[in-house]
Amino acid sequence: MLSIKNLQAQVEDKQILKGLNLTINPGEVHAIMGPNGSGKSSLASVLAGRDAYEVTGGEVEFYGKDLLELSPEDRAREGLFLAFQYPVEIPGVSNINFLKTAMNEIRAYKGLEPLDAKSFLKLSKEKQQLVEFDAKLVNRCLNEGFSGGEKKRNEIFQLAMLEPRLAILDETDSGLDIDALRIVANGVNALRSKDNAFVVITHYQRLLDYIVPDFVHVLFDGKIIKSGTKELALELEEKGYDWLKESVHAPIV
Amino acid sequence: MTPQVTLPIYDDLLKDFSKLEMKAEHEQIRQKRRNALEVFKRTGFPTRKHEDWKYTAVTPYLQANFRTNGSVPIAPVAVDYLKLAAIPGLDCYRVVTVNGVLQPTEVALPSNVKIRSMAEAQEDAGLLKHFGSVSVLDNAPFAALNTALFAHGFFLEMDANTSLDKPIHLVQVLNSDAHAFVQPRNLVVIHAGANATLIESVVSTPGTKVFVNSVTEVVLKENAQLQHYVLQMAEKETQLIQQNDVSQSMHSLYSNYTFSLPGSSLIRNNLNVALDAQQTETHLYGLYLGTGNQLIDNHSLVDHKMPHCNSNEMYKGVLMDRATGVFNGKVFVQQDAQKTNAFQQNNNLLLSDEATINSKPQLEIFADDVKCSHGSTVGQLSKESMFYLQSRGISEQSARAMLVNAFAFDVTEKIGIPQLEKFINHKITAHIPALN
């Protein structure tokens, strides 16, 4: 579904992604790990279309379309979803109206009628239960006064409602206690299917105990320097990143 | 200072005054007119040299040959103006004025509320007692001019200890295809213990060229309550100078909501609230949306004269295109006004590089046991919030509209009438500019 070839991107003249390759197929869960500043969140931002990032080379194809040519909203309408590392608080915008607008704009893009109020409410209730999201939060203003954990859970609730084909979770585990982590992971697991895929960006192996990945990639200095299966995450937990960094910096003999 | 005799309207107005002297009118009113004319003649029309008019030049709008007082058309309007002012789903008692002239009501008002034209009520003891008692004319040249030369307007009275089951919707239609200078004078008296909701909508028929200089005096007796909504949505070739002078007695509650929407090239609101007794409560909410070359100027004064009064003011502005906003909010806390709570906030959102806001919160405190605060901000839409909404599939246009509505929310959520709140939110959405 997603094919990233030699992706290069910069922010304010600083090169962040330096030739990144990654292919994702439906039904897969990919974990991306790596030290601070290696470009993990930048990759998520570039894919979602944050305008501070300038793509300087490479290509990204999403279901046959040139993803980089699409506006952020069209990427979402094509089925890409970014769960934010720091979800934004927007006082004055109600959570539920926001979701209804998002859902109906996505439906309109696909040529579907807007969901009527009753069906939307029913769907919202189902998904709230699926991801254990508090009904009280649904009716509040978007993330306003939410705790860190509630914000992350709201991201997963939105993910459940919008049913994207590819979801990127950008350090969704950061700032979560064990219980919240488990709830978020259960939500993701409940949403996994053979038709969708997940990219899980994380610092810690712990999340991968709950969301078991098919592939683990190590991102360093703007490139993927090692890929493997879930055992790679365990190895990283034990040995850190230095042994991999050394192999990258080692002079070519 | 020499008045601007170069403006033809200045001479026309003085001529009007001599004609007015020949008409029969209650001596008390006549005397107030004479005094007010002297006040006006001292300054003439204000220029930008007057501190209160520093950012708002009115004389460019006064160059034309205006029809004044007697020559302003007062015939009923052919256009379905009620449509212009309709608030969908709102059940109300409707009263209509055209260029300030009170029209016969289609449906009779309940007996506890009386509305008469100023002319009809001019012998009324209540009118004579309150007319000109609230407005302070020094440093208010337009209010002085209105007092000297007002034509038409209404006198609304709400009986003591009564209330209404629905709001009064006062539709003020402006209608003249030739330049007209209209000066209605209104008086609202809410008697002790009464409670009323008044929605004023200022609209104009297409192509109307009217300059309005209106004054409304509002008297709230003890324990009286008034929810006072003002919706300014007249068209481009209109200018509105609207003065609202309010006097509050003990335990009274006055809430003003002023919505200045795209349209009128010039809007100047002078909202003055005198807290003349203890234990009063005052809320002033404002929202101004400026587009095109509009200039929207809100001057307010809350005068805490007595102890134990609470006032709260929140004005929000959204300025687009080349629009200019002016906010000057004065709060005076006089020496006797101990235990005052006075808050004021003005927030502005600039949606264009060419939009301007001049914001001046002004707090003057002469008492020593008070709680007061004021603040002013200017900002733009948060890029991070925009991206968040767009990343969920929401178009840039809808995202902007959502964020502007959210910005206005602090004011719109205070609207006590759901249909009106919805109406205002729709108006906001409708005016968010399309993308360049």
Instruction: Please name the member of B385, B395, B409 whose beta carbon is closest to the beta carbon of A73.
Output: B395
Q: Residue A228 CB: number of other CB atoms within 10 A? A: 13
The predicted-structure confidence for B48-106, as pLDDT tens digits, reads as follows 999 999 999 999 999 989 998 767 776 666 667 778 899 999 999 999 999 999 998 87
Contact yes or no for A93 and B405 at CB 8 A = yes
Q: Which residue of B lies nearest to A78 if distances are taken between CA atoms?
A: B393
Q: Mean of the per-residue pLDDT values for chain A? A: 92
Residue B292 counted as domain residue = no
**Final residue in a domain of this structure, among B254, B277, B300:** B277
Q: If we measure between CA atoms, which residue out of B353, B371, B372 comes closest to residue B361?
A: B372
Residue B37 counted as domain residue = yes
Contact yes or no for A90 and B392 at CB 8 A = no
Number of domains in chain B: 2
Chain A residues whose beta carbon lies within 8 Å of the beta carbon of residue B388: 84, 87-88, 90
Residue B111 has pLDDT above 80, yes or no: yes
The reported pTM is 0.88
The predicted-structure confidence for B323-379, as pLDDT tens digits, reads as follows 999 999 999 999 999 999 999 999 999 999 999 999 999 999 999 999 999 999 999
Number of domains in chain A: 1
* Residue partners of A109: CB distance under 8 A and separation at least 6: A74, A77, B393
Instruction: Please name the member of B384, B387, B407 whose beta carbon is closest to the beta carbon of A72.
Output: B387
The predicted-structure confidence for A28-49, as pLDDT tens digits, reads as follows 999 999 988 899 999 999 999 9
What are the structure tokens assigned to A126, written together?
């189902």
Domain that holds residue B164: 8-277
Share of chain B above pLDDT 90, in %: 84
Residue B425 counted as domain residue = yes
Contact yes or no for A92 and B393 at CB 8 A = no
Distances (CA, A) of A73 to A104, A124, B64, B235: 12, 21, 50, 35
Q: If we measure between CA atoms, which residue out of B334, B388, B328 comes closest to residue B56?
A: B328
Side-chain half-sphere CA neighbours of B187 within 13 A: 28
Statement to judge: residues B273 and B389 lie in one domain:
no
Q: Domain holding A15: CATH number? A: 3.40.50.300
**Final residue in a domain of this structure, among B277, B311, B328:** B277
Domain that holds residue A125: 2-249
Looking at CA atoms only, how far is residue B426 from chain A in angstroms? 15
What interface predicted TM-score (ipTM) does this complex get?
Answer: 0.95
Statement to judge: residues B260 and B142 lie in one domain:
yes
Instruction: Please name the member of A87, A92, A102 whose beta carbon is closest to the beta carbon of B406.
Output: A92
Residue B42 counted as domain residue = yes
Looking at CA atoms only, how far is residue B312 from chain A in angstroms? 20
Sign of CA dihedral A207, A209, A213, A217: positive
Contact yes or no for A72 and B410 at CB 8 A = no
C-alpha A66, offset from chain centre? 19
Sign of CA dihedral B386, B388, B393, B394: negative
**Final residue in a domain of this structure, among B262, B277, B292:** B277
Backbone angles phi, psi at B93, to 5 degrees: -95, 120
The predicted-structure confidence for B195-241, as pLDDT tens digits, reads as follows 999 999 999 988 899 999 999 999 999 999 999 999 999 999 999 99
